Amino acid sequence: EAGVTQFPSHSVIEKGQTVTLRCDPISGHDNLYWYRRVMGKEIKFLLHFVKESKQDESGMPNNRFLAERTGGTYSTLKVQPAELEDSGVYFCASSQEFGSDEQFFGPGTRLTVL
Amino acid sequence: KQEVTQIPAALSVPEGENLVLNCSFTDSAIYNLQWFRQDPGKGLTSLLLIQSSQREQTSGRLNASLDKSSGRSTLYIAASQPGDSATYLCAAGGTSYGKLTFGQGTILTVHP
């Protein structure tokens, strides 16, 4: 069984540009989460999808971040326009049930904004 | 607001030692607590998941305990090996749809 995959593994962009990160969850997992770790800080929650619906987006830092999960399969996280403070590692996770279920993480996308 | 703290921040031990990593959380209303391992440049590997109704979970040389009332969890690693060297993260699963709140992690080095 394939795990959670993320693309790209690394992205280097200029301030003001747009970047789109992609996450493919484990097949059959309705729950998809985005997290990120910025330099020197702990991993923090961004948002949670149940199928194609946003269940909790309380961690999204501002309106420059847009997450979608069309059709309830893969998800994209777009940052537009990117700022220097957006640099970090963006993780995606999925789980079968929400609440008490184990979350499985992808390898992350390292984003560097210059 | 949930806050998770891990102590120590770093730990270096000789091979073969038994060791304990500590995790504390401020809000005892959690669904679960999950321990992860992260190797440099890699993603998070789930080690153990303890549901809020459980006291401990075991997998091989790993044993994790949970005391909700005191807001603490420990990860016990028996007979440590150099391959155990990694960053260990604990994360509390909140009542808000399962989002995880992470600690800063403990960097473990096991030297031969």
Distance, in Å, from the CA atom of A88 to the CA atom of A78, rounded to the nearest integer, reads: 14
- Model pLDDT for residues B64-82, shown as the tens digit of each residue: 999 999 999 999 999 999 9
Split at pLDDT 50, 70, 90, the class of B95 is low
- Model pLDDT for residues A51-90, shown as the tens digit of each residue: 999 999 999 999 999 999 988 899 999 999 999 999 999 9
**By the 8 A CB rule, do A65 and A58 touch?**
no
Identify residues of A whose CB sits under 8 angstroms from chain B CBs.
4, 31, 33, 35, 41-45, 48, 50, 55-56, 58-59, 91, 93, 95, 98-108
**By the 8 A CB rule, do A69 and A49 touch?**
yes
- Model pLDDT for residues A5-62, shown as the tens digit of each residue: 999 999 999 999 999 999 999 998 999 999 999 988 999 999 999 999 999 999 999 9
Residues in chain A with CB shorter than 8 Å from the CB of B44 are 91, 93, 105
Cis peptide before A81 (omega within 30 of 0): yes
- Asked if B45 has any chain A CB less than 8 Å from its own CB, the reply is yes
Which amino acid appears at position A81 of this protein?
Answer: P
Q: Do A99 and B31 touch (CB under 8 A)?
A: yes
